[in-house]
Chains A and B, each alone.
Chain A
Amino acid sequence: MLPMRDAIKRSGFVRQKTINAVVRYAFMIVLAFLLFGIILWISGKDPIQSYKDIFSSTLGSAYGFSEVIVTMTPLLLTALGVAIPSRIILINVGVEGQLYMGACLATWGALTFGDLPAWILLPLMMLLGMIGGSLWAFVPGYLRATGIVNETITTLLLNSVAPMIVSFFIFGFWHSPMDTNKTPNFSTSARLPTLFNTRIDLSLVLALVLLTVFWFVMKYTRWGLEMKAIGGNPQAARRNGIPVKIYLISVMCIGGAISGLAGMAQVSGFYGVLLANFSRGIGFMGFLISWLAGGSPLGILLTSFVISIIISGGNLLQLTRDLPYAVINVLLAFTLFVVLARPNFLIQRKDA
């Protein structure tokens, strides 16, 4: 349905290019903050004070910084779940659904085998989460590889199905005696260990390792080369004997598995319990991040970090400035709009 070519930047970064990119994005973010400031000002809040709040609450203290990292972790994984398929022009809009299915299966593991020690249970839950996510990605991948249905449509539709399946299990079978909309708290052995006495959990390490592996595979292995070939010209790749169909299905499943892992990390690390409708768009945000970052590992890391600052800064705005929490979505959207619209002054800079 969509040519994703423009999302895939050519590999081989020059340092100057990276610096230019950083400067450009910084300009864009400043512009977004200006726009949001105007809205704040119109609605009678003090924009400068609000921004001070956002930055002092996120970057000003160790605790605030750790909260930014906590917000960033699932975004890294979901963005990776989009970025990997995007390398062979697969558009995975279904991370949201894959995340839910991963969380669903991982929760089943946690509730059924809750007595097992952590060193068995956690890998088991991770595996289950990855299976859940990749199952949810297998269907679109298979349908795409056989040329039946475009993966954009199917992943989008399956997104809406997954949360309902999760709700079905929670309300029907798993709900705790007290609440109907969530499971009982997981046993301690089903919780991902936290790091440095903060809410940062092990999944951060996992995400960073996976990003590095992704970078390594794309740069130094045969698989990466073949994926680049498919991304460049699927026809030519097929004629050169690359098993394009197998790549389409398996890469989609890998993307799904990583999204499923993000779901597992959310329930096991962040919440410690499976809530109905817990995600509220983490998967969609992952899609946007991957798209903005052009699918590059370093770009994903930077973009997720900036977006996490905005998101977790929003928490404080709600408390001190008497704004609904969802308002931070406006600032987020302004940032995205500005980046998507690529304002003119940036293009002129490029020419110079």
Chain B
Amino acid sequence: MTLLSILGVLSSAIFSGTSLLYTTLGEIIDQRSGIVNLGLEGVMLVSASAGFAVTAISGNPYLGMLVSVIAGGLMNLILGFLVVSRRANQLASGLALMFFGFGLSAWIGRPYVGAKIRGLPRLPLPGLSNLPVLYSSLFKFDLLIYLVIPVAILVWWLLFRTRWGLGLRAVGENADTAFASGRNPLLIRYQALFAGGLLAGLGAAHLSIAYTMNWTEYMTAGRGFIAVALVIFSKWNPIRAIVGALLFSGAVAFQLLLQSSGIQISPFLLDTIPYILTILVLIIWGGTRKHAAPASLGRVYQGTE
């Protein structure tokens, strides 16, 4: 095993972890306002297909990215209409949104199966450009990768250091109290869902426009559900989500490393590690409220009339 192969694995882990982290950040915002979005898988698929289609038509990956982000926001607004305005059950609405995403993305993406696009341009890390090409080519990342950590910090700042974030978390803990203190839970939940959708759209854009650079049906392959697991794992905290996403994609990297060094462990078993780890962490936390789940997560706000 050479340094090169280790670096290669690292680089691929960064690529696969980025979309996961964006999506997780989005779900953290959703859940902090008290809404479980199980439809992430569908949201991501629609965003990924819309972004890919626009990139293929216009040839401009940034335009595709923009469309992808907006598509994510709009998809989440559908969920918002159901669970906020119509007070529907969140789990059922989320699953319905997932099925909607399966269908709509297949429809949007169908003409573009196998299409070639110019993906997001990759920019070398400053200071690494004088390395041999073999090495520097591994560390040419696209814009979204460079932005992911700042975005995580931004989300943390928004949630924990602004009045908007305070209101959002208040709604997630107890919507009635938030209402009594002069906030509008319905509006805040819509805003949270829209913001969360934008971030999920970014994640999906990275997946289809920057990372794989193609479109296939069901291409997200469970990333939406991994993101939901990651939210719990990171205790609804954007900074911890960075660690979580690194760990998840590290498991993928570890698996590649093992394979390249000739150790035979089934990749499928390694893929289960993140989920089992999350369950173990939950068990260790036990029934205590320490794990900081928003108190009214999943509850329907009935209004005060």
User: Of the 9-residue stretches A11-19, A66-74, A108-116, A326-334, which lies at the interface with chain B?
Assistant: A326-334
User: Of the 9-residue stretches B137-145, B238-246, B268-276, which lies at the interface with chain A?
Assistant: B268-276
User: Of the 9-residue stretches A128-136, A152-160, A191-199, which lies at the interface with chain B?
Assistant: A152-160
Q: Does A287 contact B (CB under 8 A)?
A: yes
Q: Which residues of B contact A325 (CB under 8 A)?
A: 106
Q: Which residues of A contact B98 (CB under 8 A)?
A: 281, 284
Q: Which residues of B contact A210 (CB under 8 A)?
A: none
**B208-230 CB contact bits vs A (8 Å, 1 = yes)?**
00000000010000100110110
User: Of the 9-residue stretches B63-71, B89-97, B118-126, which lies at the interface with chain A?
Assistant: B89-97
Q: Contact: B217 with A324, CB < 8 Å?
A: yes
Pick from A147, A165, A340 the residue with the most CB of B within 10 Å.
A340
Q: Contact: A340 with B100, CB < 8 Å?
A: no
Q: Which residues of A contact B160 (CB under 8 A)?
A: none
**B87-118 CB contact bits vs A (8 Å, 1 = yes)?**
01111110111111011111100100000000
What is the CB-to-nearest-CB distance from B136 to chain A, in angstroms, rounded to a whole number?
35
Pick from B88, B99, B225, B271 the residue with the most CB of A within 10 Å.
B99
**B69-88 CB contact bits vs A (8 Å, 1 = yes)?**
00000000010011000101
Contact of B225 among A156, A330, A342 (CB under 8 A): A156
Q: Does A44 contact B (CB under 8 A)?
A: no
Contacting B at CB under 8 A, from A226-265, are: none
Given A157-B275, A159-B225, the answer on whether A284 and B268 have CB atoms closer than 8 Å is no
Contact of A291 among B92, B103, B300 (CB under 8 A): B92
* Docked complex Cα distance between A143 and B281 (Å): 13
What is the CB-to-nearest-CB distance from B225 to chain A, in angstroms, rounded to a whole number?
5
Output the nearest chain B residue to A325 by Cβ-Cβ distance.
B106
* Docked complex Cα distance between A148 and B283 (Å): 6
Q: Does A341 contact B (CB under 8 A)?
A: yes
Output the nearest chain A residue to B102 by Cβ-Cβ distance.
A329
Count of residues in B whose CB is under 8 Å from the partner chain: 50
Contact of B89 among A7, A157, A160, A331 (CB under 8 A): A7
Q: Does A337 contact B (CB under 8 A)?
A: yes
Q: Does A319 contact B (CB under 8 A)?
A: no
* Docked complex Cα distance between A336 and B82 (Å): 10
Given A149-B279, A324-B110, A330-B104, the answer on whether A287 and B91 have CB atoms closer than 8 Å is yes
* Docked complex Cα distance between A330 and B99 (Å): 7
User: Of the 9-residue stretches A57-65, A166-174, A200-208, A213-221, which lies at the interface with chain B?
Assistant: A166-174
What is the CB-to-nearest-CB distance from A81 to chain B, in angstroms, rounded to a whole number?
15
Q: Which residues of B contact A331 (CB under 8 A)?
A: 103
Q: Does B183 contact A (CB under 8 A)?
A: no
Q: Does B287 contact A (CB under 8 A)?
A: yes
Q: Contact: B229 with A160, CB < 8 Å?
A: yes
Q: Does A2 contact B (CB under 8 A)?
A: yes
Main secondary structure of the interface of B (DSSP, over half): helix
Q: Does B232 contact A (CB under 8 A)?
A: yes
Q: Does B2 contact A (CB under 8 A)?
A: no
Q: Does A164 contact B (CB under 8 A)?
A: yes
Q: Does B12 contact A (CB under 8 A)?
A: no
Q: Contact: B107 with A2, CB < 8 Å?
A: no
Given A157-B275, A337-B78, the answer on whether A91 and B103 have CB atoms closer than 8 Å is no
Contact of A340 among B38, B89, B225 (CB under 8 A): B89
Contact of B283 among A143, A165, A327 (CB under 8 A): A143
Q: Which residues of B contact A165 (CB under 8 A)?
A: 268-269, 272
* Docked complex Cα distance between A83 and B20 (Å): 33
Q: Contact: B271 with A330, CB < 8 Å?
A: no
What is the CB-to-nearest-CB distance from B268 to chain A, in angstroms, rounded to a whole number?
4
Q: Contact: A147 with B287, CB < 8 Å?
A: yes
Q: Contact: B99 with A333, CB < 8 Å?
A: yes
What is the CB-to-nearest-CB distance from B266 to chain A, in angstroms, rounded to a whole number?
5
Q: Does A6 contact B (CB under 8 A)?
A: yes
Q: Does A1 contact B (CB under 8 A)?
A: yes
Q: Contact: B81 with A341, CB < 8 Å?
A: yes
Contacting B at CB under 8 A, from A302-339, are: 323-334, 336-337
* Docked complex Cα distance between A5 and B111 (Å): 44
Q: Does A177 contact B (CB under 8 A)?
A: no
Q: Contact: B88 with A281, CB < 8 Å?
A: no
Q: Which residues of A contact B99 (CB under 8 A)?
A: 281, 284-285, 329, 332-333, 336
Given A160-B226, A284-B98, the answer on whether A326 and B106 have CB atoms closer than 8 Å is yes
What is the CB-to-nearest-CB distance from A146 to chain B, in angstroms, rounded to a whole number?
8
Q: Which residues of B contact A149 (CB under 8 A)?
A: 279, 282-283, 287
Q: Which residues of B contact A291 (CB under 8 A)?
A: 89, 91-92
* Docked complex Cα distance between A291 and B38 (Å): 15
Output the nearest chain A residue to B271 by Cβ-Cβ distance.
A164
Q: Does B150 contact A (CB under 8 A)?
A: no
Extra pairs beyond A139-B279, A333-B99 (18, CB < 8 Å): A2-B89, A149-B283, A149-B287, A153-B282, A154-B282, A156-B225, A156-B229, A160-B225, A171-B268, A281-B98, A284-B99, A323-B107, A324-B106, A326-B107, A329-B100, A330-B100, A340-B92, A340-B93
Instruction: Give 6 closest A-B pairs by Cβ, nearest first.
Output: A329-B103, A333-B100, A326-B106, A330-B103, A336-B96, A340-B88
Residues of chain A having any CB pair with chain B under 8 Å: 1-3, 6-7, 43, 91, 93, 139, 143, 147-149, 152-154, 156-161, 164-165, 167-168, 171-172, 281, 284-285, 287-288, 291-292, 323-334, 336-337, 340-342
| 30 pairs, A vs B, C-beta closer than 8 Å | A2-B90, A2-B91, A2-B299, A43-B107, A148-B287, A149-B282, A152-B298, A157-B278, A158-B275, A160-B222, A160-B272, A161-B272, A164-B271, A165-B268, A168-B269, A281-B99, A284-B95, A285-B99, A288-B92, A288-B96, A326-B107, A328-B103, A329-B103, A329-B104, A333-B97, A336-B99, A337-B78, A337-B93, A341-B88, A342-B88
